[in-house]
Copies of this chain bind each other. A is one copy, B any other.
Amino acid sequence: MKKISELIQSSNEEVQLVLMLSDVNVKKTTSGDDYASMIGFDGIDKIEAKIWNFSDELKETLVSGEVYKVNARTKQYQNRTQLNILALEKINESDGYDLSMFYEKAKLSSEELAKRINQYFMKIDNSILKTIVSVLLKKHFNDFFDYPAAVSMHHNYFSGLAYHTYSMLKLSDAYLDLYDFINKDLVYAGIILHDLGKIIELSGPKGTEYTKQGKLLGHISLGYDEISKASLELGISDTEEIINLKHIILSHHGQLEYGSPKEPATPEAALIHFLDYNDSRLAALENEIKKTDKGDYTQPISPFDRRIFYVPNIKY
């Protein structure tokens, strides 16, 4: 098995690698045949790859986000090595392979995140809010702690769904401490459920893509729906608590033009929007800063309108 870094100058050489394949894009040649382009990732580097004879069998085998043993021929194109894939075979963890290098994980494990988020859940006193959170967390337990918070393959710029949720909970304590007019129960429940709809909006933790419901309805409406249906079954649909919780879900993007059909109109909704805004941006920033030397400039950072940041060269 080769690593991508060994192929810098390689041309017209047949090689074998273990690659996670993603961003699979099926196009047509001018003659009307299908071919596929994709990104291969060996746990360290990425490489562009193409499949020219994209047989029906290959179409079934190839699933974006999965890891494969790949047979390919190298090619130099625009000063970069590319792969023309000749054959591929899926690799499974159940076959004894360690695939952990292919998936970027949050700083804390799923178990640890579950434990910590549970501690916040335990602090909710209001029984209606406690019940709805409990029911929905139970319903989606596995997904909630595995899902990412955004579409992307390996280096997503946002931490995973649960880590993002936990970060917001932690930050919220500083605000609740300073501003006693804000209802802690609504804040905790609202944070835990604010991005729940992403479990339906996204296809899963590997090779993450938007689902049809994700594209047509979006995670805000999907999460709102989850609360609506669960509260209907619990007989608490029209309670003050559920209406407030729904308002938080709807408004957490803060502005209409960011996809919230209502702007925050309660203190708790305003705070949760602030926390979501801050944490998503700082996580993306952290990701880039950690790749950059002190005294140097980062690459453009998407959630900051692609602005470039400078890393101060100051001793701590």
Contact = CB atoms under 8 A, between A and B. Distances in A.
A196 to B, nearest CB: 15
B289 A267 contact: yes
Contact of A212 (B213, B221, B224, B310): B310
A243 B217 contact: yes
Contacts of A215: 265, 297, 310
A290 to B, nearest CB: 6
Given A257-B257, A270-B304, A126 B314 contact: yes
A315 interface: yes
Given A212-B243, A265-B308, A315-B126, A286 B80 contact: no
A268 interface: yes
Would you call the interface of chain A mostly helix, strand, loop, or mixed? Answer: helix
Interface in A164-216: 167, 170-171, 173-175, 177-179, 181, 183-186, 212-213, 215-216
Nearest to A238: B213
A314 B5 contact: no
Nearest to A7: B30
A247 B215 CA distance: 9
A218 B261 contact: yes
B80 A262 contact: no
Contact of A170 (B174, B213, B221): B174
Interface stretch (A14-22, A97-105, A132-140, A225-233): A225-233
Contacts of A33: 8
A250 interface: yes
A220 interface: yes
A266 B80 contact: no
A67 interface: no
A101 B263 CA distance: 37
- For this chain, the copies found in one complex come to 6
Contact of A30 (B45, B267, B308, B316): B45
A32 interface: yes
A286 B310 CA distance: 35
Interface in A93-150: 125-126
B179 A261 contact: no
B289 A185 contact: no
A61 interface: no
Contacts of A50: 79
Contact of A8 (B29, B81, B297): B29
Interface of A: 4-8, 29-33, 45, 47, 50, 79-81, 125-126, 167, 170-171, 173-175, 177-179, 181, 183-186, 212-213, 215-218, 220-221, 224-225, 228-229, 232, 240-241, 243-244, 246-247, 250, 256-268, 270-271, 274, 277-278, 281-282, 285-286, 289-290, 295, 297, 304, 307-316
19 contacts: A5-B32, A30-B45, A125-B316, A171-B175, A175-B282, A181-B286, A215-B297, A216-B265, A217-B262, A218-B262, A221-B224, A221-B261, A240-B313, A244-B312, A250-B261, A259-B261, A267-B309, A267-B312, A278-B278
